[in-house]
Amino acid sequence: HVIEFEITPNRPDCLSVIGLAREASATFGKQLKLHTPVVNGGAQGDLNELLSVETPADDLCPRYTARMVRNVKIAPSPKWMRERLRAMGVRPINNIVDITNYVMMEYGQPMHAFDYRYVKGGKIVVRRAAEGEELTTLDGNVRKLNPNILVIADGLAGIMGGENSEIVSDTVDVVFESANFDGTCIRKGALSLGMRTEASAKFEKGLDPMNTLPAVERACELVELLGAGEVVDGVIDVINSIPEPTVLALRPDKINALLGTDV
């Protein structure tokens, strides 16, 4: 069975399987049963020596979380994963790319996988693009950028990855990116480039920065589950801004006037 939900723009938390499960749990008064990812790790190497992250555009990147997988074995995903992706309208590509899309659909957190050999000096930089800067994206098109667009290493933040860092058949080491970006910046960037992707559609509505870590952990768990590679111990987690919880005041008079109740 396939159920299609029409999600209104004010509910980006429901753009995922877990989000819909949480909503159903609240609606029907049933217990929400969430899985906590477990990652064994143990691959050779020190993550902090292999990879670093800088965020000059920290006002547009509240959080950037990354993990690394070594000795990757690129292959088709198992049948159960391919069928679930197709049911959600996503075309299976290979196990690593499919894992990022699977996590996005499950957690509502867009992810990206970089081929580590193309991350120059092992450094990922989240910055504003230079005026007139050009980038060839995964769809093969050359994009002319401007300072309103956020760039990560070799990709467009929150929109699409760069062609020169995509996952291919001889990829050996992979960096999983799970980040949170400013929704307005992503919406304007996607609009100016004439690109609207599954990731940008989620980011532009405003996502929870607390979701980046569980999502990358789930991706690494799936890597181990599928035998797709060896996860390096440790997590790089750059936190620039975590929103304060919103406090809602209870106004009995307004509730009673609206509902005819006597609270």
Label each residue of 185-219 as H, E or C: HHHHHHHHHCCCCHHHHHHCCCCCHHHHHHHHHHH
Three-state DSSP at 59 gives: helix
Supply the mean pLDDT for the chain: 90
* Whole-number pLDDT of residue 3: 81
Structure tokens at 6: 């029409």
Task: Kindly state the helix (H) or strand (E) to which residue 254 belongs, with its residue range.
Answer: helix 252-259
Other beta carbons within 10 Å of 208 = 17
**Three-state DSSP state, 69:** strand
**8 A C-beta contact, residue 7 and residue 15:** yes
Residues 6+ apart with CB under 8 A from 253: none
Question: How many Cβ atoms sit within 10 Å of the Cβ of residue 237?
Answer: 15
Contact 92, 75 (CB under 8 A): no
Mark out the alpha helices in 33-94 (DSSP H runs).
47-50, 79-87
Per-residue pLDDT, averaged over 83-107, amounts to 95
* Mean per-residue pLDDT, 224-249: 94
More confident residue, 5 or 78: 78
pLDDT, tens digit, 9 for 90 and up, residues 202-222: 999 999 999 999 999 999 999
Give the full edge-to-edge strand order of the sheet including 155-156: 52-54, 123-128, 150-152, 155-156
Handedness of CA 252, 254, 258, 260 (dihedral sign): positive
The pLDDT value recorded for residue 141 is 80
Nearest-angstrom CA–CA distance, 103 and 95 = 12
Residues 84 and 102: beta-carbon distance below 8 Å: yes
128 - beta bridge partners? Answer: 150
What's the pLDDT tens digit per position in 163-190? 667 788 889 999 999 999 998 888 888 8
**Phi, psi values for residue 22, rounded to 5°:** -65, -40
CA distance 125 to 175: 13
Cβ atoms of 85 and 187 closer than 8 Å: no
Q: At what angle do helices 17-28 and 95-107 cross, to 10 degrees?
A: 30
pTM over 0.85: yes
Task: Answer yes or no: is pLDDT of 198 > 60.
Answer: yes
For residue 51, give the nearest of 114, 124, 112 by alpha carbon.
Answer: 124
pLDDT digits (tens, 9 = 90+) for 37-83: 999 999 999 999 999 999 998 999 999 999 999 999 999 999 999 99
